C-alpha cells in the first residue's frame, strides 16, 4: 500500500472534517500618532474577535509631507496596503481618488451627511469613511498656570499676547512649539481661518478661483504674522526646533508650557500618557482681532480608504463598514476617549469628557461659532506650507514674504489639479 505523506494526510483530514477556514490578512497603513495607533489596535482586535478568519498586519508611517509623499507613491505604484488612514478634504483630492481609491458608497449607512463631501471624488463617488472625531484647531492651555497667574481665556490676539508676556515674566514657557514634527508648525496659520472668513466671507471661493491671494489679503497674512509674533516675543521653548508633537502635549499637560497650538485630537495622547493630568488642560479657539467674532476653525476627521488595487477589496470594505458603525465608534471611544464629536449616527459622547473637550463643544453647539478649515472648502493646499511656517516660526523668514511664497506654492498645486483660471 502506498503511504500518503504526512502533510498531505493532515490536509486531507482537515478538509474531510470540515475544519478548513479561509484566512485573510489585511494590510493596514496608518500614521505614527499614538492616538491613531491605539484606535486601530482596538478596532482590529475587536474585528478579529468577531471574525477569527481575518487578521491584520499594521504598518506605521510618518506624518506631514513625508507621509503625504509615501501615500501618493504607494498608490501610484499599486503597493498601497488594503486599508489606509489619511486626511480628508484637499489632501484627499490630491490623491487622484477617482482612479486610485475604491468606491465605498455602499457602506455609508451610518455616516453623517456633512462628512461625505470631503471624501467624494470629482466623479461624484464617496470613497472614504470617517476615522476618529471632528476636531477644532486652536490653543491648548494649562489651567493651573492660568489660575496661578490670574489669567483669563483670551478672545483677541492682543489679549493672548498679553497673557504670553505675563507668563514669560513669571519665568515660564508661554508657547510650546514642536518643529521637529514639521506639520505642527502650521496651526497658527490654519487655525486662523475662522477669523479670515469672518473678515473676508468669500475668501475660500475666490481663493480657489485665483481671484484673491494670501499675500494681498491682510486677514490671511495675519496667520503668518502670529507665528512671527510669538517667536519675536521670546515666548517659545528652547528646543522648539527639534521638539515633537508628543513633547508639546506633555509640556502643556504637565505645566512645562502654558500654551500649545494644536488640533483637539491631541488630548487623546495626554489621556494615554499622562492620565492624571488630562483635566489640567483647557482649550480655546485661536483668537482674532474682534472679541465679538470669536469662533473655532473645524477639521473634519481623517478618513479610512481602500485602494482600488487591493486584492482583498471585499474583506477590506467589510472591515471599514465595522469602523463606520456605532460599535466601531464606541470601540474607538473606549480606546482613546472622546476628543470631539464623532460623525456616526447614534454614536454618543460619554458625559465625563475631558475638560478641553468640554471647552470645545459650545463652539459646535452655537450657530455661527464654527467654520470649516480652508482645506475642506477648497481643493488647494500647497505642499510646502509646513516648511514655510517652520521658517517663519524660527525667525528665518518674515510673515509677508512667507505669504507670498505660499501663494507660489499654491499655484503649482492648482495647476496640477487642473483648476480653471490658474
* pLDDT at res. 268: 86
Domains in the chain with CATH codes: 23-133+301-350 (3.40.190.10), 135-299+357-417 (3.40.190.10)
Give the DSSP letter of residue 141. Answer: E
**Are the C-beta atoms of residues 345 and 164 closer than 8 Å to each other?**
no
Burial class (CB in 10 A: 0-12, 13-18, 19+), 295: buried
**Distance separating alpha carbons of residues 83 and 92, to the nearest angstrom:** 15
> At a CB cut-off of 8 Å and minimum separation 6, what does 175 contact?
164, 230, 235, 236, 237, 257, 258, 259, 260, 261
> At a CB cut-off of 8 Å and minimum separation 6, what does 280 contact?
142, 143, 144, 253, 254, 255, 355
- Helices and strands per DSSP (H, E), number in the chain: 18, 11
Model confidence pLDDT, tens digit, residues 374-409: 999 998 888 899 999 999 999 999 999 999 999 999
Question: For the CA atoms of the chain, what is the radius of gyration?
Answer: 23
Give the DSSP letter of residue 340. Answer: S
Give Dmax over CA atoms of the chain in angstroms.
Answer: 94
Q: Calculate the CA dihedral of residues 252, 255, 258, 264 and round it to 10 degrees.
A: 20
Q: Quick one: residue 204, left, alpha or beta (phi over 0 = left, psi -120 to 50 = alpha)?
A: alpha
Model confidence pLDDT, tens digit, residues 57-87: 999 999 888 999 999 999 999 999 999 999 9
* pLDDT at res. 390: 98
Question: Comparing C-alpha atoms, which of 33, 46, 42, 28 is closest to residue 85?
Answer: 28
pLDDT < 70 positions in the chain:
1-22
- Mean of per-residue pLDDT scores for the chain: 92
* pLDDT at res. 157: 98
* pLDDT at res. 21: 54
* pLDDT at res. 40: 97
* pLDDT at res. 22: 60
**Distance separating alpha carbons of residues 405 and 116, to the nearest angstrom:** 32
Cell numbers 463652539 correspond to: 363
Cell numbers 508639546 correspond to: 248
**Distance separating alpha carbons of residues 44 and 31, to the nearest angstrom:** 15
Q: What does the block give as the cell for 22? A: 479561509
Beta-strand pair 296-299/370-372: parallel
Amino acid at each position: 500500500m502506498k503511504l500518503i505523506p504526512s502533510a498531505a494526510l493532515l490536509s486531507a483530514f482537515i478538509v474531510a472534517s470540515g475544519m478548513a477556514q479561509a484566512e485573510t490578512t489585511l494590510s493596514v497603513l496608518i500614521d505614527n500618532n499614538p492616538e491613531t495607533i491605539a484606535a486601530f489596535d482596538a478596532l482590529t482586535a475587536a474585528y478579529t474577535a468577531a471574525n477569527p478568519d481575518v487578521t491584520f498586519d499594521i504598518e506605521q508611517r510618518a506624518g506631514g509631507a513625508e507621509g503625504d509623499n509615501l501615500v501618493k507613491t504607494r498608490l501610484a505604484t499599486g503597493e498601497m496596503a488594503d486599508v489606509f488612514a489619511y486626511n480628508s478634504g484637499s489632501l484627499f483630492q490630491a490623491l487622484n481618488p477617482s482612479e486610485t481609491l475604491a468606491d465605498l458608497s455602499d457602506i455609508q449607512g451610518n455616516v453623517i451627511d456633512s462628512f461625505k463631501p470631503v471624501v467624494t471624488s470629482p466623479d461624484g463617488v464617496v470613497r472614504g469613511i470617517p476615522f476618529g472625531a471632528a476636531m477644532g484647531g486652536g490653543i491648548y492651555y494649562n489651567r493651573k498656570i492660568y489660575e496661578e497667574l490670574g489669567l483669563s481665556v483670551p478672545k483677541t490676539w492682543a489679549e493672548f499676547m498679553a497673557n504670553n508676556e505675563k507668563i514669560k515674566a513669571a519665568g515660564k514657557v508661554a508657547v510650546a512649539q514642536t518643529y521637529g514634527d514639521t506639520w505642527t508648525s502650521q496651526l497658527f496659520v490654519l487655525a486662523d481661518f475662522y477669523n479670515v472668513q469672518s473678515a473676508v466671507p468669500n475668501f475660500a471661493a475666490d481663493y480657489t478661483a485665483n481671484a484673491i491671494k494670501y499675500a494681498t489679503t491682510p486677514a490671511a497674512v495675519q496667520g503668518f504674522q502670529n507665528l512671527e509674533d510669538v517667536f519675536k516675543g521670546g515666548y517659545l521653548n528652547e528646543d522648539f526646533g527639534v521638539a515633537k508633537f508628543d513633547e508639546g502635549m506633555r509640556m502643556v499637560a504637565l505645566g512645562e508650557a502654558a500654551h500649545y497650538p494644536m488640533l483637539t485630537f491631541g488630548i487623546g495622547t495626554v489621556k494615554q500618557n499622562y492620565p492624571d493630568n488630562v483635566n489640567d488642560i483647557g482649550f480655546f479657539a485661536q483668537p482674532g482681532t474682534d472679541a465679538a467674532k470669536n469662533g473655532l476653525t473645524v477639521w473634519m476627521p481623517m478618513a479610512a480608504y481602500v485602494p482600488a488595487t487591493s486584492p482583498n477589496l471585499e474583506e477590506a470594505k467589510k472591515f471599514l463598514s465595522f469602523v463606520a458603525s456605532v460599535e466601531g465608534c464606541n470601540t474607538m471611544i473606549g480606546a482613546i476617549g472622546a476628543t470631539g464629536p464623532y460623525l456616526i449616527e447614534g454614536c454618543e459622547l460619554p458625559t465625563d469628557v475631558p475638560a478641553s473637550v468640554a471647552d470645545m463643544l459650545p463652539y459646535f453647539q452655537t450657530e455661527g461659532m464654527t467654520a470649516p478649515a480652508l482645506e475642506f472648502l477648497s481643493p488647494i493646499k500647497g505642499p510646502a506650507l509646513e516648511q514655510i511656517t517652520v521658517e517663519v516660526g524660527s525667525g528665518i523668514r518674515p510673515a509677508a514674504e512667507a505669504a507670498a511664497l505660499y501663494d507660489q506654492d499654491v499655484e503649482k498645486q492648482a495647476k496640477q489639479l487642473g483648476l480653471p483660471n490658474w
